[in-house]
Amino acid sequence: MLETVRWLDGKVRILDQSRLPQTESYLEISAFPALIDSIKELKVRGAPALGIAGAYGVCLGLAEEQHRSIADFKLSATEAVTQLCATRPTAVNLGTGAKHVLKTVLESEGKSSDAFCKALKSADDFLEDDLSRCAAISKLGAPLMPSDGSVLTHCNTGGLATGGIGTALGVIIEAHKNNPRLHVYVDETRPLLQGARLTTWELARAGVKHTLITDSAAGHVMAAKKVKCVIVGADRIAANGDTANKVGTYGLAVLCEKHRIPFYVAAPFTTVDLGTSCGEEIIIEERSMSELSDRFSTSPVPIGTEVYNPAFDVTPASLITAIITERGISKGPTFNFA
């Protein structure tokens, strides 16, 4: 099992995903601003893993505050949560993890140092729970995978993106245990190549056969009847089932409808945001234009080209065949999580 994020000797230890697949190296982060930067730079990424980073992030922000009064300690915790939530606004789990720890802190009385121990314990619990959530999702979703043929996935939703086996990729890896012939088409996932760099790496480690395609080849492979279903993760699921996930997901769902291919979303219930009624309310993170224009030593883009770089898009619930959470499989085309 990958140790994507954990607390170690007073630091947050993360597997630096920005260096994969070339280098498997860990960062031991001892300062809150450095953790904020590592989240912004996608050194730790994927909604559930961000939730865990958020939970430990609050602890990191409080580590130096233990000498303060409990009232000031609580104020610092609230401030840490606000800063963490602002780093990546679409991934609801980041706030869920951070607020999980905040709740523990706000309920604490007595010495700040005792409140800190409780905060750390609640972050550890959040990580453990994510591990169990992933295992449940994977087992529930596995029977939906084809017994023969290929499944297509987008972005990275495996152990790197979670505290456990993964969500959508966890389903695939679990299904592969009973069906070693299962094959996966992996979308490259422009512009940061989470599919090409990370999902291929994880599938190779798990011994699952896979083929990398460009995002724009998905329609072609579906038209050629090479894909039996598509399964993706989620960054935020609205109460009506509208789902924000890595940009490109919506296009895949439209293609699935056209080609009558099931389109599945797998996510822990921590990704369901009951405070958001529909997809239009979801804030879409916009990332730097340099992710498109300055990615190579020689820029492939004429200087001054305007760039729009949304990190996510929203798939309407009506295009989703089923949403798999640890609580069960909800079948579409309408959902009501509220």
| Active site amino acids | 235
Interface with ligand MRU includes 240 (CB under 6 A)? no
Tokens of 302: 């004429």
- Between CA 84 and CA 59 the distance in angstroms is 12
Shortest spacing between CB 6 and ligand MRU, in angstroms:
17
Give the amino acid at 87: T
Among 12, 29, 123, 155, binds ligand MRU (CB under 6 A): 155
Among 130, 187, 215, 235, binds ligand MRU (CB under 6 A): 235
91 to 130, contacts with ligand MRU by CB under 6 A?
91
Interface with ligand MRU includes 157 (CB under 6 A)? yes
C-beta of 21 vs 78, nearer to ligand MRU: 21
Q: Sheet holding 272-273: strands in order across?
A: 272-273, 236-238, 243-246, 312-315
Interface with ligand MRU includes 245 (CB under 6 A)? yes
C-beta of 105 vs 323, nearer to ligand MRU: 323
Interface with ligand MRU includes 194 (CB under 6 A)? yes
Residue with tokens 């023969």: 148
Q: Under a CB-based contact definition with an 8 Å cutoff, are residues 150 and 208 in contact?
A: no
Tokens of 282: 């979801």
Shortest spacing between CB 133 and ligand MRU, in angstroms:
11
C-beta of 162 vs 315, nearer to ligand MRU: 162
- Between CA 155 and CA 184 the distance in angstroms is 13
Give the C-alpha distances (Å, rounded to integers) separating 227 from 81, 151, 187, 188, 264: 41, 5, 12, 16, 13
C-beta of 41 vs 114, nearer to ligand MRU: 41
Contact pattern for ligand MRU over residues 10 through 49, marking x by CB under 6 A:
--------------------------------x--xxxx-
Interface with ligand MRU includes 161 (CB under 6 A)? yes
Shortest spacing between CB 232 and ligand MRU, in angstroms:
6
DSSP characters over 81-132: HHHHHHHSSS-HHHHHHHHHHHHHHHH--S-HHHHHHHHHHHHHHHHHHHHH
Shortest spacing between CB 224 and ligand MRU, in angstroms:
25
Contact pattern for ligand MRU over residues 162 through 181, marking x by CB under 6 A:
x----x--------------
Burial classification of residue 124, based on how many CB atoms lie within 10 Å of its CB (0-12 exposed, 13-18 middle, 19 or more buried):
middle
C-beta of 164 vs 262, nearer to ligand MRU: 164
- Between CA 241 and CA 263 the distance in angstroms is 13
- Count of H-run helices and E-run strands, the chain: 11, 14
The three-class DSSP label of residue 243 is strand
Interface with ligand MRU includes 320 (CB under 6 A)? no
Query: C-alpha angle with apex 249: 97 to 52, nearest 5 degrees?
Result: 15
- Between CA 36 and CA 42 the distance in angstroms is 10
Shortest spacing between CB 277 and ligand MRU, in angstroms:
21
Shortest spacing between CB 189 and ligand MRU, in angstroms:
8
260 to 319, contacts with ligand MRU by CB under 6 A?
311
- Between CA 98 and CA 58 the distance in angstroms is 6
Number of residues that bind ligand MRU (CB under 6 A): 19
Tokens of 250: 């919506």
58 to 97, contacts with ligand MRU by CB under 6 A?
91
Binding stretches for ligand MRU (CB under 6 A): 42, 45-48, 91, 155, 157, 161-162, 167, 194, 232-235, 245-246, 311
